[in-house]
Amino acid sequence: MKPLIVVAIFMILSLSSIEAKVYGRCEFARELANLGVPRHQIPTWTCIAQRESNYDTAARNWGSGDHGILQISQLFWCNVDGGPGKGCNAQCSQFRNNNIVDDVRCAQKIFDEHTRISGDGFNAWTTYRFCRGDNNRYVAGCF
């Protein structure tokens, strides 16, 4: 019986890693551009992704309840209890797979909401304090 449990756990972990992806810096920046993110924002988003998750789509912060490459908060933006919900009408697990389209769309929604509230949408991410100013080094040689 124990070998079956070990095999089952291994298969679950293998499937999880197949669904996740660690982006390269330029690969992430180019994907943002392909998704229509304004070009002037891409360096800052790339900095935030590096600082939040090291470009890992499977990243999860158990302490804060943040999920995915851009660390979307389960407090306000996604639901961990099964169904879609909260601000981005999504399950948090959706932000931990290799498809970052929903992550980027939710991040843009968060950005817009925080722009309305504070004047700077990037303030929603605590790592933004490290990403203020010129972030062009994060996209150097990418385009």
Residues with catalytic function: 52, 66
Rounded to 5°, the CA angle 118-48-133 comes to 65
Chain-centroid distance of CA 73 in Å reads 10
Q: Nearest Cα to 92, choosing from 102, 78, 105?
A: 78
**Rounded to whole angstroms, how far apart are CA atoms 56 and 83?**
24
